[in-house]
Structure 1
Amino acid sequence: MTTREAIRPVLPILIAASFMLTIAFGIRQSLGLFLPQITSDIAVTITQFTAAIAIQNLVWGFCQPIAGIAADKWGFRPVMLVGAISYLVGMLTMASANGAWMILFGAGICVGIGMACASFAMTLAVTSRLVPVSVRSTALGIVSAAGSIGAMVTAPYGQFLLNGFDWRIAALGFAVLALLIIPAAWIAGRVDKEAPLELSADNADRLSATGAMQMAFKNPSFVVMAMAYLVCGMQLVFLTTHLPSYLQICGMDPMLGASAIGIIGGFNILGSLFFGWAGQRWNKQALLGLIYCSRSLVLAVYFITPPSATSTIVFAAVMGFLWLGVSPLVAGSVIEMFGLRWQAMIQGFAFFNHQFGSFLGAFGGGWLFDKFGSYDVALVIGISMGLTAGFVQIIFALIRPPTRPATA
């Protein structure tokens, strides 16, 4: 059977999972657009809004391993449906918010649970079970690229509603999109019957959740990858949360922030496809380090000088190319080291580190801005940590390539 023949019967599941990721990631990526209007309309400060985004990332990271364990026990469909409903509740709560606590509950807790149960980890785990190993890394890159389409479309859509109406109507518009996650999750849940897991004897598949967890934390390659992943989250969420505000402070057109996020989403597609393809051929963890170093240098170059429309568009395009390429590389590394059964759970532990970094990027960026009146200190910290993490990741990957530990 050829690769095409193997994929054709499960193509509807892959499309539904990709669509689920597109909507979930697109909305989440665009929430920073609401910051200026919400903070000027109701009793919510910049620090409180960014705290809600920070809590969202912590909830997402904390719930991700739990969602992986639940998917192994009850199946992917119920877990993804819980995530879809939580996402919808979050956007409806945000649309009716009249203070910081409702923003925290809606955009923070509910969206965080939704992302844990119905976005990257679940989508990539579904994809990994459905495609042959010979094209798995490339397939993970293609599906990751689907998440970028959402950001490319959702950010301009949200800014259009913000400009034409107000932030409550825009939040309701996002709730309509969140509603579409429910049927997508239902269809993607067919993976439970179409691709039952075949346990392997040479990885963590036959271990309990606790045994697989212990195996992961004793693997140096996994530990280094998980620690470097913190910087990834810090840099990316800092940008999605604070770039629109930064451009507004600099006197730029508010639509430029939405356009930049949309451009990031568009070039995410190219980056995800490229790094998915590259991960099939070269050391995945060395590629991760290369991404972290490159991002940090691009951030430094952009923020040294006052922004213009042209520099912002170029910056967004380059950052977009380097943005989501980490997803197929991290997922592929976890599968290579530990197998398929506990992929979502083990990847979730690494992702918790990523989300702690996201917490620092969202809340820390807002706190440092309130304290110093600019983003300069936050940028110096983020760029320095990114370069350090990238170099350590590359060096460790080259001197000690990841290996699959014995299950005995």
Structure 2
Amino acid sequence: MSIPTKSLSMTQVLLCGAAIVTLSMGIRHGFGLWLLPVTQSQGWSRETFAFAIAIQNLAWGVFGIFAGMAADRFGAFRVIVGGAVLYALGLLGMASATTPLLFSATAGVLIGMAQAGTTYAVIYGVIGRNVSADKRSGAMGIAAAAGSFGQFLMVPTEGFLISSFGWKEALMILGLASLMMVPLAWGLREPGFAGGSAIRREQTILQALTEAFKYPSFQLLMAGYFVCGFQVVFIGVHMPSYLKDKGLSPQVASYALALIGLFNVFGTYAAGVLGQRLSKKNILAFIYLARSCAITLFLLTPLSPLSVYVFSAVMGLLWLSTVPVTNAAVAQIFGVAHLSMLSGFVFFSHQIGSFLGVWLGGYLYDRTGSYDVVWYIAIGLGVLAALVNLPVKEASIIRSTAAQAV
């Protein structure tokens, strides 16, 4: 890849990118707060709501691939603006949906497409192209920490909006707020993409994909990220209802999700910094194993607000800490020319896991009256993810001259 003669400053990239991720991730982290208000108001089952959010995660993964390709080709600015507009439309449509089909189309497809254009794959592409390799993992950690801060900031705000104005009005307010991402995207207009011209690359898209999918370490990173998606989305969407079923107040759930976001600020930043100094595969293996241990202890400990808050703090440290490390590993192995696209494919695996985690949570609850089975699956998958990350080879891939030719 030819590096542009002028790059954006790291400060500008991180300020604008972090603010966009704060809004985008902050809004979506609070969707679990709408589960009971929506289902009770509309007379729907929990599976209906969970299925729409599952569709959202799957759409996010699918369209994330194409958003990554577009961002690599035309720059992140255009992609983020389009994603912000879709976010606003999706939230407004979610508020006005009167049937499960419309709810799935808006809360599911539209918002999933919006998240694809306004979250990590696109932002990390900008970071990869404008931040030097020795600072890249830490910069990605800062961006991921911003998403966590968004959860800490936005989840209590969303709870306040729902209680003060109603669940429909809260969605409309957030729809307008999501448009703030448009002016922020202006700060990520890269000189190398001025006028729509792309940076010249040594590989075509097909060559980059063929190389990645033939490389075992890429497949192992995708497998681990699948588990990440299963765990965090199941917990993020279903834990408020799980806690209410156990007799705890809705405020406990709001504080729990906020604590996850707060502690994840520190966890993701620390993971990004450690990724510059330690083996990334070992960091990932530790995170997945620690998650399984935390869930096991949570289920074995008598449930109380204190136990919920301790669990939330521990899970917060581990929540999105996989994100900067995984993406930095992809950049280290394959370079940054097609980073947004490759990150999109890795994230697609994450979102398949997210789909199964959130949908199985609703499906098995409706049929068994309990979330226990899904908790056990999350524990087992965490152990599996720890094991599959250990064989990952992090060294930069060596390409022959012939393989680089377009």
**Fold shared, TM-score > 0.5 on shorter chain:** yes
Aligned 1:151-170 pairs, distance under 5 A: 151-170=151-170
Of the three residues 209, 218, 222, the one matched with 2:218 is 222
Instruction: Summarize the Cα distance change of 1:262–1:77 in structure 2 as closer, same or farther, 3 Å threshold.
Output: same
Q: Quick one: distance in 2 between partners of 1:173 and 1:299?
A: 34
Tell whether 2:257 aligns with 1:261.
Answer: yes
Partner residue of 1:344 out of 340, 344, 367: 340
Output the TM-score relative to the length of structure 2: 0.93
1:231 counterpart (227, 230, 243): 227
2:146 is aligned to 146
- Describe how 1:4-403 pairs up with structure 2 within 5 A: 9-190=9-190, 192=192, 205-394=201-390, 396-397=391-392, 400-403=393-396
Which AA in structure 2 matches 1:135? K
Q: Compute the displacement of 1:349 (Å).
A: 1.0
Q: CA contact under 8 A between 2:7 and 2:190: conserved in structure 1?
A: no
**Aligned amino acid, residue 266 of structure 1:** L
CA change 1:316–1:197 in 2 (3 A) is: farther
Query: How far apart, in 2, do the equivalents of 1:211 and 1:89 lie?
Result: 36
1-structure distance, mates of 2:208, 2:105: 33
Moved more, 267-276 or 97-106: 97-106
SS at match of 2:277: coil
Rounded Cα–Cα distance in structure 1 between residues aligned with 2:360 and 2:191 = 39
Tell me how far apart the structure 1 counterparts of residues 36 and 294 of structure 2 sit (CA, whole Å).
Answer: 26
Corresponding residue SS for 1:98: coil
Which residue of 2 is the match for residue 202 of structure 1? none
Q: 1:130 to 1:403 in 2, by over 3 A?
A: closer
2:397 is the alignment partner of 1:404: yes
> What does the per-residue CA deviation read over 1:249-291, in whole Å, with 9 as the maximum and x for residues that have no partner?
1111101111111111111110111111110011112211111
Q: Deviations over 1:233-258 (max 9, x none)?
A: 00000001100000111111101111
- Give how far 1:124 is off: 1.3
Q: CA deviation at 1:8?
A: 8.5
Instruction: Tell me how far 1:330 sits from its aligned partner.
Output: 1.1
**How far apart are 1:10 and its partner, in Å?**
5.0
| Cα pair distance change 1:227/1:191, threshold 3 Å | farther
The answer as to whether partners of 2:22 and 2:150 remain within 8 angstroms in 1 is yes
Report if the CA contact (8 A) 1:80-1:189 is conserved: no
Unaligned 5+ residue runs, structure 1? Answer: 1-5, 200-204
8 Å contact from structure 1 (residues 13, 191) kept in 2: no
Task: Give 2:381's aligned amino acid.
Answer: M
State the distance in 2 between where 1:138 and 1:363 align: 34
Q: 1:153 to 1:131 in 2, by over 3 A?
A: same
Question: Does the 8 A contact of 1:84 with 1:185 survive in 2?
Answer: no
CA contact (8 A) 1:43 1:99 kept: no
> Residues 375 and 50 from structure 1, CA distance in 2 versus in 1: closer, same or farther, beyond 3 angstroms?
same
Alignment-mate amino acid for residue 359 of structure 1:
F
One-letter identity of the residue aligned with 2:82? V
Letter in 2 for 1:241: V
Tell me, what secondary structure is at the counterpart of 2:187? helix
Shift in Å at residue 163 of structure 1?
A: 1.9
Unaligned ranges ≥5, structure 2: 1-5
How far residue 77 of structure 1 moved from its aligned partner, in angstroms, is 1.2
Q: What TM-score results when the alignment is normalised by the length of structure 1?
A: 0.92
In 2, the alpha carbon distance for the partners of 1:12 and 1:288 equals 29
Does the 8 A contact of 2:60 with 2:113 survive in 1? yes
Closer, same or farther: CA 389–10 of 1 in aligned 2, 3 Å:
closer
| 193 and 361 in structure 1: CA distance in 2 versus 1, 3 angstrom threshold | same
How many aligned positions are there? 394
Q: Which amino acid aligns with 2:234?
A: F
* Residues 256 and 309, structure 2, Cα contact 8 Å, conserved in 1: yes
Q: Pick which of 162-171 and 359-368 moved more.
A: 162-171
Q: Is the 8 A contact 1:231 1:357 kept in 2?
A: yes
**Residue 229 of structure 1: CA displacement?**
1.1
Q: CA deviation at 1:166?
A: 1.5
SS of 1:52's equivalent? helix
Specify the code of the residue in structure 2 equivalent to 1:107: A
Residue 298 of structure 1, CA deviation: 0.4
CA RMSD of aligned residues (A): 1.8
User: Counterparts of 1:173 and 1:258 in 2: how far apart (Å)?
Assistant: 19
SS in 2 for 1:251: coil
Residue 84 of structure 1 deviates from its aligned partner by 0.8
Displacement of 1:191: 5.8
What letter corresponds to residue 145 of structure 2 in structure 1? A
